[in-house]
Structure 1
Amino acid sequence: MKKEFNKEAFKAKLEEQNSFPALYMFKFIVPKGKEGEVANLLPNNETSLKESAKGTYVSVTIKAMMPDSDAILEIYEKASKIEGIISL
């Protein structure tokens, strides 16, 4: 059973734990071949990739300066449209 995402609770937690603008680390796992789509969410930022042991998935970490919690939520919303993505 998929747990429903509570956008307001996540936004409140972001604002409680960060002082904006803030350097934020996004972490995603995607099927191999989709890592470019994730990197395009935040071009011109520090991106690191790590392949899974079997090579079927890629972990994508992106560090980006974010102006506020709404900007972070917007990136997660765009990311959710990438097929097979897992947001961490």
Structure 2
Amino acid sequence: MSDKSKQFKQVLDEHHEWPCPYIHKFIVPADSLDRFQELFASEKLETRQSRTGKYTSVTIVSTMCSADEVMAVYEKAAQIPGVMSL
């Protein structure tokens, strides 16, 4: 695990009491949205298309049981080129 990942995990553990609802936000290129939705088929996704239609903002609210679970969602999303995590 990189130092950046360790630091992120520490911050998550300091600011959250597990389990708790956690909000993930992503910016997904329009041409990758279908793949993103397939990866997160079991989650309820809230989407909003950008004015130009080039990107879609995606919000996922789910109950997480640990910082590791939160980080796994970000790692899963990172499989798709061009996805930005907020």
Would the TM-score normalized by the shorter structure come out above 0.5?
yes
1:4-45 deviation per Cα after TM superposition (whole angstroms, max 9, x unaligned): 981011101111111001100000001113223333444343
| In 1, Cα distance between equivalents of 2:49 and 2:31 | 11
**Shift in alpha-carbon separation, 1:69–1:29, aligned structure 2, 3 A:** same
Give the unaligned 5+ runs of structure 2.
none
**Shift in alpha-carbon separation, 1:24–1:42, aligned structure 2, 3 A:** farther
In structure 1, the residue matched to 2:83 is: 85
Matched, 1:71 2:72: no
1:35-86 deviation per Cα after TM superposition (whole angstroms, max 9, x unaligned): 2333344434332100011001000000011110001111111111101100
Give the unaligned 5+ runs of structure 1.
none
Matched, 1:39 2:51: no
TM-score normalized by the length of structure 2: 0.86
| In 2, Cα distance between equivalents of 1:24 and 1:70 | 12
TM-score normalized by the length of structure 1: 0.84
RMSD: 1.9
* Structure richer in helix, relative to its length: 2
| Matched residues, number | 85
